[in-house]
Structure 1
């Protein structure tokens, strides 16, 4: 068999977690991480707009292999998260595996040579080149490609227009009239941040959101000391946060108990909005759809900011953009110096805009269109695309839990189902069965129909053909259980060595123990009545 190597696309949290898994847990270093940005961090390097932060508790939004006792507060902001990721890369010696400012244009599976040919463009030199790899791991994430919108007259506007993910820090917003288009997480974070210095901020929001309180106190020095030195305290704290969030997902199910709890939480959120926001906005802010239909927002003092004289909520869309402002759908004409689009990301368009071609010559985009949307077995493996895994793929997004947790679960699963079998010569190619992928995807979609994710709202979960390609229908811990042990019958495994068990044992124990173990295995295989022993061994060495 040819030497095994891997290409990882993306140096965000999931790409870093995959690199750590390969290097430090599997002892495999023949991998390269390509990143289109000028450094690591992914979405936390892309998004630098004022007020940018995380709505998941810091101790949960952390790598399990690098817990951080020094988080400054419960919900960290962008700069601190990015620094934590940079420190993790250096701590685990991963930076030398990263090639930054290199964009992946696409990849094609070479059937004859059993490897991926991946095409890149060096964004510094503009040179296009190709590299080959046994394994292709997509770690591009769901929040990597901004969802750009176009409006009539956009090109005529005399001032700057930019997306929150492309914040122009050369533009001063002090004493300026600013329009913010959108009302998702980025919009409600940026508005209170810029309102303090702007002359006016007017938000165009066509639909409401559910908001809840966002307590965000700083950790004391004693707490940081305790997290560092008291055994298991930080992991216990992390688990408590995880479970308190995860059990909320019960309210998203269509059971009697779930509906009862959801209605209770909706009333709490409704009262929170009434308490914080001006009365004139109450009817505009409170949704008529189910809590959870859209990802609920931890309020970053957005509702408080609506009480400011220089902040206004306009519950309309845009008719057109003029040279000096915006005309809304009702004909209202407002003048602006800056227009900010907070329109989110192409979350359901995975691997955008790469052109990935599978074993039968079809592109991943075309295959997914034929299936009415993106799909993958347990969010990770797609038929017709051997030796490829997608991190944070279709239907893996936890309701309100940590995306980083979901990524690490997939990293572990990818290691067990793909990387280990290839390294141990169990197979040359591994591909999920089409029937398994379709069956499990249909099951997920059926479960989602009975949840709030199919409620009466427009959300980013739903793709072009009306199918939810983002949400995981259960608890986050259920996703971990589903991926804990790979189902060997779900995969087509070709090639490999008949001696893969011996090689696996050698890698597991090494040295003299490996020799003794291999001798025992060889003796057992040729002995009589070894069927049960072999079955046990196969299950342990997957």
Structure 2
């Protein structure tokens, strides 16, 4: 009697259903036909930052056709730089198109995950957000798609709890409260503040914006796509592909603004700085020029592409001040010079960028947590922005040093997704091995090279920015053009990993080796056939 042997298909848990989670899920299904994964999402809907950020004016400062998935281009973008509702709709339609929704469990947050060395799998503890019920699941593969722009910074201003007015973070906008006719304080002047201030000024009776440090601001011409353009994009896909490629190539050339390694790069930044100064002086009220225009190099902080912010500063209803805030009072804010009363305080103070995977506790081999590992290496790091030594079968999409300051993060997310599939999912499913762990020396070598390169770039020129952690290490940015990011992650360097288990299947060949092998085999067959005559 014949007895069939059923092989065990690996299970995977994915944390988060934002851009990275959608990209991974879509490629797992379409590229591998792999469906044995669950996505745990703590929010009520997918979309990540584009679901959570709903403040007035929220939008993207990357071209819409570039800020989209290569496997699901959208011919129907309404304008060059899309706003939040349109981006969220695109992400939702992508999830529906690729059958991702059935894989997602909404309202479930990952509390902690631990690697079980004896059983060679991840044990994950989860909590139902609404009921508080705690339960656990297991999986051979764990991937974080949490992202870094997800958790708002806590308010650090003294006496925060004494304030009796309304207060919220821009990333958690309170739509139940109207600001019409009220006095509003906006704390912060980064990208989010620049987007929301024009709308707040329009509706509020009085606005005071507190600037902690100046920002470089550039023009943001946001043209609408015509019916003809949409028609061509829809019916001639190669036109849309060519347009997207042109955007990517042109945007990638902006990398030179962030380095000073050549005379052309220095000159490019000089010209870009002159252009920004000219725009700011022409557009903003003259009374604010001294506090608006930075003294630090362009690019040291994330550049702002103006959504109408500088024009809004002309309104008699707004005051921009650089007075330091000393503390909250019962009715408002106390600065170094005066007390001000406000009905509403909006905190546009950024996110916990440096706290990757926060607040999840991740424990790897030898009972070492991810934070302890990173503390021992003087800062967050990951091999090729994706794998961490001591944490087998675990990958991070949008991990340390994966942020391209000058290009689309969706591009680098997709590059990492393909790398995780090539190096982790496909070989484990095939049976080449069952456990993959990056070697410590490989992680250290990779991280050291990146940090050495980043020291030469504009983020280390002395300004305060969210790219640097408390010790001054740049844990967010990638240091080169994005095509080089793709090249670094094009194919796994198997010698950089410890591999174990599996059914002994050979490791996947590089595509060019497959072509060469096929050509050699074909040539050998022809020669053999010739000799047989």
Which of the five TM-score ranges fits, normalised by the shorter chain? over 0.9
TM-score by length of 1: 0.91
Which of 318, 329, 332 is the aligned partner of 2:325? Answer: 318
The size of the alignment, in residue pairs, is 508
User: In the TM superposition, what is the alpha-carbon distance from 1:59 to its structure 2 partner?
Assistant: 0.5
Which of 245, 252, 261 is the aligned partner of 2:268? Answer: 261
Structure 2 residue runs without a partner (length 5+): 1-6, 515-519, 525-533
Structure 1: distance between partners of 2:233 and 2:300: 36
Point out the more displaced range, 254-263 or 5-14. 254-263
Corresponding position of 2:529: none
Structure 2: distance between partners of 1:139 and 1:502: 25
CA contact (8 A) 2:427 2:507 kept: no
Q: Does 2:473 align with 1:467?
A: yes
Equivalent runs, 1:82-481 vs 2, <5 Å:
82-255=88-261, 256-328=263-335, 330-481=336-487
User: In the TM superposition, what is the alpha-carbon distance from 1:502 to its structure 2 partner?
Assistant: 10
CA contact (8 A) 2:427 2:508 kept: no
CA contact (8 A) 1:295 1:400 kept: no
CA contact (8 A) 1:252 1:259 kept: no
CA contact (8 A) 1:60 1:242 kept: yes
Structure 1: distance between partners of 2:494 and 2:170: 44
CA contact (8 A) 2:113 2:363 kept: yes
1:252-279 residue CA offsets vs partner (Å, 9 max, x unmatched): 1122221121111111101110010011
User: In the TM superposition, what is the alpha-carbon distance from 1:400 to its structure 2 partner?
Assistant: 2.2
Point out the more displaced range, 382-391 or 307-316. 307-316
1:158-181 residue CA offsets vs partner (Å, 9 max, x unmatched): 111100111100010001110011
Q: Does 2:79 align with 1:73?
A: yes
- Secondary structure at the counterpart of residue 401 of structure 1: coil
Where has structure 1 moved over 6 Å in runs of 4 or more?
A: 501-505
Structure 2: distance between partners of 1:262 and 1:463: 25
Taking only aligned residues, the RMSD between alpha carbons, in angstroms, comes to 1.8
Structure 1: distance between partners of 2:463 and 2:379: 19
Structure 1: distance between partners of 2:507 and 2:284: 64
CA contact (8 A) 2:9 2:429 kept: no
Structure 1: distance between partners of 2:339 and 2:349: 21
- Secondary structure at the counterpart of residue 185 of structure 2: strand
CA contact (8 A) 1:319 1:331 kept: no
CA contact (8 A) 1:115 1:134 kept: yes
Structure 2: distance between partners of 1:368 and 1:444: 16
- Secondary structure at the counterpart of residue 493 of structure 1: strand
User: In the TM superposition, what is the alpha-carbon distance from 1:464 to its structure 2 partner?
Assistant: 2.1
Equivalent runs, 1:487-502 vs 2, <5 Å:
487-500=493-506
Structure 2: distance between partners of 1:456 and 1:388: 35
User: In the TM superposition, what is the alpha-carbon distance from 1:500 to its structure 2 partner?
Assistant: 4.5
1:26-68 residue CA offsets vs partner (Å, 9 max, x unmatched): 1110000010000100000010001110010110111111100
